[in-house]
Amino acid sequence: MKSCKLSWLLVAILSIMVAAFSYKFTVGEVQPSDDGRLAVQLSNDERNALLLEMRTWLQNSQAMLAAVSSQDFATVATIAKSSGMAAEAGTPGSLFRKIPLEMKKIGFDTRQKFDEIAIDAEKLKNSQHTIKQISTAMNNCVACHATYRFVASDK
């Protein structure tokens, strides 16, 4: 009987831990921001790393448009792939906890859209189609920036 009670206690404790972890994973480390957005609280290094990734996204979006304007679909595909899901592999686990689920979803969706741009550029070689895809992917940039900002909580 005693060991039975103990196992129930263990189950209860584990369930609470799982629930707390899932809650953190869903909500992330966010605070309301005075500009009406949600401020994701990061360390200085994490913020710098993400902002660098952002500047790479901007640079790659411009480079894809330049390549598609000269019908260079091989370059479109290479650049799009470098912004796709493969680039996610280097993201540290600590960031996954701090970034709210909704934001992660938009981020992953953007990477998947870049992967689709790469596949279609190689397969279809249709500039109108690629431009439309870049425009659709960039709606995610707009949506995420409208909702979130990054704040470094240590200096």
- Nearest CA-CA partner of 38 in 145, 155, 153: 145
- 55 binding ligand HEC? (CB under 6 A): yes
Q: How far apart are CA 47 and CA 45, in angstroms?
A: 5
Longest dimension (CA), the chain: 76
Give the binding range for ligand HEC (CB under 6 A) out of 14-22, 57-65, 74-82, 125-133: 57-65
Of residues 20 and 27, the one with the C-beta less far from ligand HEC: 27
Relative to beta strand 38-42, strand 148-152 is parallel
How many residues of this chain interact with ligand HEC, rule: CB under 6 A?
18
- 57 binding ligand HEC? (CB under 6 A): yes
- 141 binding ligand HEC? (CB under 6 A): yes
| Strand arrangement, sheet containing 148-152 | 30-32, 38-42, 148-152
Q: Contact 47/151 with Cβ under 8 angstroms?
A: yes
Residue from 103, 122, 125, 129 in contact with ligand HEC (CB under 6 A): 103
- 144 binding ligand HEC? (CB under 6 A): yes
- 95 binding ligand HEC? (CB under 6 A): no
Express the helix, strand and coil content of the chain in percent, nearest 5 each.
75, 10, 15
Note the residues at the interface with ligand HEC (CB under 6 A): 51, 54-55, 57-58, 61, 103, 106-107, 110, 138, 140-141, 144-145, 148-150
